[in-house]
Amino acid sequence: MKIVGISACPTGIAHTYMAAEKLEKTAKSLGYTIKIETQGVKVENILSTEEIQQAEVVILAVDKEVQTDRFAGKKLKECQPQEQSENQKK
């Protein structure tokens, strides 16, 4: 399964990157391909149009507004970045 997503939090520091790391670890442990765009202090790991088109699922680990127009027609799963980073501690 191919997954893309965005992680973002209002301050753009810890939770953004912790959530991305947790999502990447979990997906890889399940044998999935994943790429997470981080929208922290700056936007990094930007998703290409081709990557989005090939994805079967889009994960939005965000607690701030992000543009989702580019994911039109895709299956979206939304969660809070804190949920991912808190699960990482377990």
Domain at 43, CATH number: 3.40.50.2300
Reply yes or no on whether the pLDDT at 88 is more than 50. no
For the segment 12-25, the average pLDDT, to the nearest whole number, is 92
90 assigned to some structural domain: no
21 by Cβ neighbours in 10 Å (0-12 / 13-18 / 19+) ranks as middle
Domain containing residue 38: 2-85
Encode pLDDT of 22-78 as tens digits.
Answer: 999 999 999 999 999 999 889 999 999 999 999 999 999 999 999 999 999 999 999
| Helix and strand counts by DSSP (H, E) for the chain | 3, 5
pLDDT category at 83 given cuts 50, 70, 90 is low
Annotated catalytic, 9? Answer: yes
pLDDT on residue 84: 55
| Total domains in the fold of the chain | 1
Task: Decide: 8 and 55 in contact? Cβ < 8 Å.
Answer: no
55 assigned to some structural domain: yes
Which is catalytic among the residues 8, 9, 27, 59? 9
